[in-house]
Amino acid sequence: MDVSSYKPKGRIEHRHLLNLLDYSSADIYEILHLAGNLKSAFLRGKKHELLKGKTLAMIFSKSSTRTRVSFEMGMHQLGGHSLFLSSNDIQLGRGETIHDTACVLSRYGIDGVMIRTFKQSDVEELAKYGSFSVINGLTDDFHPCQALADIFTLYETYGHLNGVKLAYFGDGNNMAHSLMLAGAKTGMEICICSPKGFQPNPEITAAAQQFGNVTVTDNVEQAATGADALYTDVFFSMGQAKDPAKEKTLMPYQVNADVLNMAKKDVVFMHCLPAHRGEEVTEDVIDSTHSIIFQEAENRLHVQKAVMCLLMGKK
Interface residue list for ligand CP (CB under 6 A): 64-67, 138, 146, 272-273
Based on its alpha-carbon atoms, the radius of gyration of the chain, rounded to whole angstroms, reads 19
272 catalytic, yes or no?
yes
240 catalytic, yes or no?
no
233 binds, among ligand CP, ligand NVA, none (CB under 5 to 8 A by kind): ligand NVA
State which H helix or E strand residue 181 sits in: helix 174-184
Could you give the angle at which helices 98-107 and 120-129 cross, rounded to 10 degrees? 40
Strand partners for 82: 56
Choices 109-117, 193-201, 234-242, 246-254; region in contact with ligand NVA by CB under 6 A: 234-242
Q: Phi/psi at 69 (nearest 5 deg)? A: -70, -40
Categorise residue 223: left if φ over 0, alpha if ψ from -120 to 50, beta otherwise.
Answer: alpha
- Per CB under 6 A, 272 contacts ligand NVA: yes
- Which of 191, 188, 262, 256 is closest to 225 using CA atoms? 262
Burial of 242 (0-12, 13-18, 19+ CB in 10 A): exposed
Which entry of 77, 233, 304, 309 is annotated as an active-site residue? 233
- Which of 91, 32, 41, 34 is closest to 61 using CA atoms? 91
- Per CB under 6 A, 233 contacts ligand NVA: yes
C-beta of 64: minimal distance to ligand NVA in Å? 8
Give the total of residues touching ligand NVA (CB under 6 A): 10
| Interface residue with ligand NVA, options 4, 37, 225, 237 (CB under 6 A) | 237
99 catalytic, yes or no?
no
Which entry of 228, 300, 304, 309 is annotated as an active-site residue? 300
| Interface residue with ligand NVA, options 90, 175, 179, 220 (CB under 6 A) | 175
Burial of 21 (0-12, 13-18, 19+ CB in 10 A): middle
Which entry of 66, 68, 116, 271 is annotated as an active-site residue? 116
68 catalytic, yes or no?
no
C-beta of 68: minimal distance to ligand CP in Å? 6
94 catalytic, yes or no?
no
State which H helix or E strand residue 86 sits in: strand 81-86
| Interface residue with ligand NVA, options 21, 41, 238, 275 (CB under 6 A) | 238
* Nearer CB in complex with ligand NVA: 77/139: 139
107 catalytic, yes or no?
no
Catalytic residue positions, numbered: 116, 143, 146, 233, 272, 300
